[in-house]
Structure 1
Amino acid sequence: MTSRRKFLKGAAAVPAAGLAAPALAQSTITWRMQTYAGAALAEHVVKPAIDMFNKIAGDRMQIELFYADQLVPTSELFRAMQRGTIDAVQSDDDSMASPTEVTVFGGYFPFGSRYSLDVPVLFNQYGLDEIWKAEYEKVGVKHISAGSWDPCHFATKDPINSLADLEGKRVFTFPTAGRFLSQFGVVPVTLPWEDIEVAVQTGELDGIAWSGITEDYTVGWADVTNYFLTNNISGAWIGHFFANMGRWEELPEDLKALLTVCMEQSHYYRQWWYWGGEASLRVNGDKMKLTTIPDAEWQQVEDAAVKFWDEIAAESETKAKVVEIFRQYNADMAKAGRPYRYS
């Protein structure tokens, strides 16, 4: 583990986007962006968008992309961006420890969504985008765009067939998800992203509740875990693109527009990549056996989420406003019926 961390620290000086960067004009605007994702995952969740931006922007602007923990630990991403050490970030609020009222809703807010399309609708039609932009403006950061990733499932070495099987399991997960799951005996563990596979192999971790099955296969976790729990605590991870406010405001309007368009394209790519991948690997994947906790028993987890929402809403006026939006949205989807909600 120590050797891996030393290797990563040494690799931080190398731009993840490639070693042979082309010569740039002296007037070229250059940014450094770090993603929450490791190299294998970043190939899908961010690199295509940055490559597209760099190709179109040419000598006017180039973005150097760095992977998880290469420049700073993920938990320090916000502060580094706020200071200007990093110009832009792709992450959820929760993982990078944003000092905002909306941080708890980033990543996997328990049962806030059922499907990936819920996220863009919540932001673009139910008002979350305005709230996020206002909260980050207060702390000198530009919230550029929000999008959805995959659902949150358990990938474990031992089978999970009941809630009792979660007791004592040491699991790598997000801060808020861990806070919620701890009531069922889960022991949340925080480690650098690149150390997770080794930690499962050595027994430091019993499992992972950080993604859906697409990421388990993409990043190698399916090689060190044996089981995939089909029940999930959220239908989609909420992630964002952010930038240092000063650096953002320095950009010409057309480059702001180009950057935003490329990030929106990134959101679209993930919509179909994850949605298709989750189904295909459940059906065709040969590395992990599927297990399921019966609906009647899993209802205890969903009922606990309602109480958890109340707990979060009681913490501040802004959090209460966001929780109310989640409540209204999910109530509307339930009334709409199929295909929006099936139960």
Structure 2
Amino acid sequence: MTTTRRKFLTSGAAVGAATLAAPAIAQSAPIKWRLQTYAGPALGVEVIDQCIKDFNQIADGQMEIELFYADQLVPTGELFRAMQKGTIDAVQSDDDSMASPTEVTVFGGYFPLGLRYSLDVPALFNHWGLDEIWKEEYAKVGVRHISAGSWDPCNFATHKPITSLADLNGLRIFTFPTAGRFLSRFGVIPVTLPWEDAEVALQTGELDGIAWSGITEDYTSGWANVTEHFLTNNISGAWIGHFFANMDRWNEVPPHLQRLMEVCFNSSHYHRQHWYWNGEANLRVNETKLKSTTIPDDEWAKVEEEAHKFWDEIAAESPLKAKIVDIFKNYNDTMVKAGKPYRYS
């Protein structure tokens, strides 16, 4: 039989149409993760919500992260153990408040007077070796350290005004373990309780104040509604916070989704950096719920002196802690020598 050009094109089109109409191969079920953050819902809007939404959208059905807020699945103090066991897959927190059993835990959250500005955190992790140290230490305990970011400073929000170090004596303060250990030198009584209970405890008088955040979180979390005064001196210029994951679960994720997670989480770090930087200044100037007070520089210098003694005590606990303290010392010495705008005093 002779095949004409018209017949050839017609039969070819039919084959093509049949091929296009063939059912698509079904995708495998998406990878499902559960991530719990240290933050409550109001704060979560700024510190994590968007990056999780972005990840889930871009992952396009290949993976989905379900987000849980502070204490929804497990208490914050049990976050590490739950992640290590695989009860939850990932965590956004600092090392200190999630009770991480590592050598680096004491440096997470607020390491007293170790940081002046928010940019100090990414500088230390990306250029002074802290990222490598954190990854090595967490790998030893079955956890992937994904990334670190700078969060807000640590100031006091209290019922009574603080204008001298003596005013700190006897105050019952909700704060982080390491910060509480340091502040007890000035008579502060550290109080541990679930994050969501702090507001009620401030109302009932169980707490005299908090040293958990800067002024941005005081307003966002509602603490500015139940305290009256804000101390402008801070015991740290930035909180060191992280994203972590169970190592086995991390290794099950394809490389391109691992990278997507890193990029989305870094976008969250960046958002917090400018959100806090703006908020810390704007709220002091343009809001009136909290009245600002300040301890004079010459008296606050005693706090800085005690902080350096505290560093040396931590360094004496192990060779690794001594190495990290040396990094903090060398970094801060470099910033002081660089002068303005890196350090003003």
For normalisation by structure 1, the TM-score amounts to: 0.92
**Corresponding residue number in structure 1 for 2:60:** 58
Q: Distance in 2 between matches of 1:340 and 1:54?
A: 38
Deviation (angstroms), 1:42 = 0.7
Who is 1:156 aligned against? 158
2:325 aligned residue: 323
2:260 is matched with: 258
Deviation of 1:198 after TM superposition, in Å, equals 0.2
1:141: which partner in 2? 143
2: CA distance, partners of 1:59 / 1:51? 12
Match of 1:44 in 2: 46
User: 1:278-317 residue pairs with structure 2 within 5 A?
Assistant: 278-317=280-319
Secondary structure at 1:46's aligned position in 2?
Answer: helix
Q: Distance in 2 between matches of 1:73 and 1:248?
A: 22
Provide the aligned C-alpha RMSD in A: 0.9
Question: Corresponding residue for 1:270?
Answer: 272
Taking every aligned residue pair, what percent have the same amino acid on both sides? 74
Q: Aligned match of 1:242 in 241, 244, 251?
A: 244
Between the aligned partners of 2:57 and 2:162, the Cα distance in structure 1 is: 46
Query: What is the CA–CA distance in structure 1 between the aligned matches of 2:218 and 2:173, rounded to whole Å?
Result: 14
Tell me how far apart the structure 1 counterparts of residues 47 and 234 of structure 2 sit (CA, whole Å).
21
Aligned to 2:292, the other structure's residue is in SS state: strand
1:201 to 203, 227, 235: 203
Question: 1: distance between equivalents of 2:316 and 2:189?
Answer: 25
Measured in 2, the distance between the counterparts of 1:202 and 1:26 equals 53
Secondary structure of 1:37's aligned partner: coil
> Which residue of structure 2 aligns with residue 13 of structure 1?
none
Q: Deviations over 1:212-267 (max 9, x none)?
A: 00000001000000000000000000000000000000010000000000000001
Cα distance between partner residues in 2 of 1:72 and 1:40: 19
Q: Deviations over 1:88-110 (max 9, x none)?
A: 00000000111100000000000
Deviation at 1:152, TM superposition (A): 0.3
User: How much has 1:26 moved relative to structure 2?
Assistant: 5.7
Aligned length: 320
Q: Is 2:202 the counterpart of 1:231? A: no
Corresponding position of 1:214:
216
Alignment partner, residue 126 of structure 1: 128
Equivalent position amino acid for 1:66 in 2: F
Q: Aligned equivalents of 2:326 and 2:47: distance in 1?
A: 30
Please give the alpha-carbon distance, in whole angstroms, between the structure 2 residues aligned to 1:335 and 1:293: 25
Amino acid of the structure 2 residue aligned with 1:67: Y
SS of alignment partner, residue 34 of structure 1? strand
Residue type at the aligned position of 2:262: T
- C-alpha distance in structure 2 between counterparts of 1:240 and 1:122, whole Å: 14
Supply the AA of the counterpart residue of 2:39: A
Q: Deviations over 1:282-314 (max 9, x none)?
A: 100110000000001111100000000000000
Partner of 2:10: none
**2:73 pairs with 1:71:** yes
Moved over 4 A (4+): none
Shift, 1:58, TM fit = 2.1
Whole-Å Cα distance in 1 between the matches of residues 43 and 159 of structure 2? Answer: 21
Cross-structure match for 1:32: 34
The equivalent residue for 1:5 is none
Q: How is 1:83-94 mapped onto 2 (pairs within 5 angstroms)?
A: 83-94=85-96
- Select the structure of larger CA radius of gyration: 2
| CA deviation map 1:61-104 (0-9, x unaligned) | 00000000010000000000000000000000000111100000
Q: For residue 46 of structure 1, what is the amino acid of its counterpart?
A: I
Residue type at the aligned position of 1:151: P
**Separation of aligned partners in 2, 1:315 and 1:177:** 17
Name the SS for the 1:225 alignment partner: coil
Please name the residue that 1:335 is paired with: 337
Q: Which secondary structure does the structure 1 equivalent of 2:233 belong to?
A: coil
Amino acid at match of 1:49: C
**Partner residue of 1:22?**
none
Alpha-carbon distance in structure 2 between the residues aligned to 1:283 and 1:75: 35
Within 1, Cα distance between the matches of 2:319 and 2:171?
34
Q: Structure 2 length normalisation: TM-score?
A: 0.92
Tell me, which stretches of 5 or more residues in structure 1 are unaligned? 1-24
